[in-house]
Structure 1
Amino acid sequence: SIGTITASVAHEINQPVAAIRTFADNAAAFLDRGEPARAATNLQSIVDLTSRIGTITAGLRRYARRGAGSIGPVALDEAIDGVRLLIGDRFRAKGVTLDLPNGPEARLTVIAGRVRLEQVLVNLLQNALDAVADRRDARVSVTVGRKGRDVVLTVADNGPGIEADIADHLFTPFATSKKDGLGLGLGIARDIMTEFGGTLDLVPAPEGAIFRMILVKA
């Protein structure tokens, strides 16, 4: 529906807009301290993120028309770099440890769309950040592994976990445990993964929450 697509736009654009605000604040601080080179780096990040917003809105228009968009080989390390740009400062600001893969496994290539794959990861990481925000030893980790011809990414946190009544319909649009959450992230994320020929599931865990993404290796 139009309402769902409108809410989707708000949900997906919120991440880069929040990052733009952070980079703008940083740039102003660097200028005040007489560090124009560091300010310029932050301003370039803003330029990159505004381009990303255009890509997201174009992708959401295709989603509204049920179009699959561009799918092909995507280097995981490039997608992970994009995720770090979008959400890394938020983790640092809250003092939450974010472990991202940087070994040989991060250089695997999968069948996906880069921007939409980043959207899925950012949604999962933002949910994890919200879940662990009040913990002293807060930690969120992304791991990459192989399962036959597939590539498996997991996003795990050491938060309180997900209540059973929420877990049962977690991927339904507007299902959320957040007071002011839209509840669209996981529903759209699963649809995106399906378009890639992959899956997104919640994995039972003794503590915290673990989400598993399975993608076809390119």
Structure 2
Amino acid sequence: MRVLHYINLEVAEGEFAAVMGPSGSGKSTLMNLIGCLDRPTTGKIIIGERDTSILSDIELARIRGKKLGFIFQTFNLISRLTSLKNVEMPMIYQDIPRAERLKRAKELLEMLGLGDRADHRPNELSGGQRQRVAIARALVNDPEILLADEPTGNLDSKTGKEIMDIFNKLHNEGRTILMVTHDQGLAQKCGRIIRLKDGRIDDGKNS
């Protein structure tokens, strides 16, 4: 079944864009394709100067590990691991020495205000704290692009604003951010809103 139809989309380096649309419009599929988790049946996906649609699984994994950071609505933290270990995990797959992994993970947790929660497991953290751990994990390999799928969806409005403040800071540092959201108020704080409808970019001309 075709989910996306003739999508022609360019996201500039350093851009902060929101993706909006009703359930079933293709938002998650679009993010999975951009994130090298799925392959398109037709067309191309270019990241930097590389056409990811023709790369091997090993090359795609390398891009995911080095160029992309993923942030999810449900946090996707490993319940048995501490905050520090959760943040450290992606670096293990990049063969980074343990001392360097721990140093980087601690620095990120401290940057996000969680230095005193490094030894806590997910069930000992609030929703906002868990999402900040997830953001730290997404940043450990210093990705150029952050893909956030409903990152504030499970949070109250105050905590959601705090997470958006973090995203704005990361954007101001030069990172490219693509964020799926149903929150019109949050989307309007991004530089651009990309609207999907029935698997197409909705420019107001779709029937």
Q: TM-score, normalised by structure 2?
A: 0.26
The structure, 1 or 2, with the larger RCO (C-alpha pairs under 8 Å, 6+ apart) is 2
Q: TM-score, normalised by structure 1?
A: 0.25
